[in-house]
Amino acid sequence: MTPAHMVPPTNAALYHRQTMEKPPQSPAPRPSAALTVAGLGSGLTEAVVVNPFEVVKVSLQANRDSFKEQPSSFAQARRIMNAGGFGLNGLNRGLTSTLGRHGIFNMIYFGFYFNVKDAFPASQDPTLEFMRKFAIGLVSGTISSCVNIPWDVAKSRIQGPQPVPGEIKYKTCIQTMKLVYKEEG
């Protein structure tokens, strides 16, 4: 046998020894801050990945042409790329707002959910256990959604059509939040 053929049997033997021969250990407790930071990291990663799609989606939603006259998603993405490139004026317009929106949501959701879930004892009854997790998830999602709304509004204003064609009213995340608060309360 070549060395490459020996890797799977070796890994299987190591896995068997690690999982079957040792007594199971209880998992180490997860610190609250670690869960919160992990949520933030997952949200920031998610934002970087989804932002170009959000820009295309918002621009298509703002298009008032009939459905037959609207460009496809790919054609709209090409138009955005031709007009502003891939950077913060093109497909990544509103990235800071999207980072805030997703980062804050996931940070609060995961930090709250897993810490509160561990604080309430699990139930042996599957229905009660489902209800426990459902209620904690509902509260976590509600709090997270309420807190991230300012970033969502800023993202939509920056990525959407500007009120005056040719004039950029909504430029940055913080500037947009301040302007919306000043003008709309």
What does the chain come to in residues?
185
In-domain check, residue 18: no
Which pLDDT score, from 0 to 100, does residue 15 have? 46
In-domain check, residue 56: yes
Low-confidence ranges of the chain (pLDDT < 70): 1-30
What is the per-residue burial (b if ≥16 Cβ within 10 Å, else e) of 73-87?
Answer: eeebbeebeeeeeee
CA dihedral 129, 38, 173, 77 (to 10 degrees): -90
Residue type, position 21, single letter? E
Residue 89 belongs to what domain range? 30-184
Which pLDDT score, from 0 to 100, does residue 118 have? 84
Cβ-in-10-Å burial (0-12, 13-18, 19+) of 144 comes to buried
Residue type, position 95, single letter? L
In-domain check, residue 3: no
In-domain check, residue 110: yes
What is the pTM assigned to this prediction? 0.75
Q: What is the CATH number of the domain that holds 113?
A: 1.50.40.10
pLDDT (tens digit, 9 = 90+) per residue, 12-48?
444 445 445 555 565 666 678 888 999 999 999 999 9
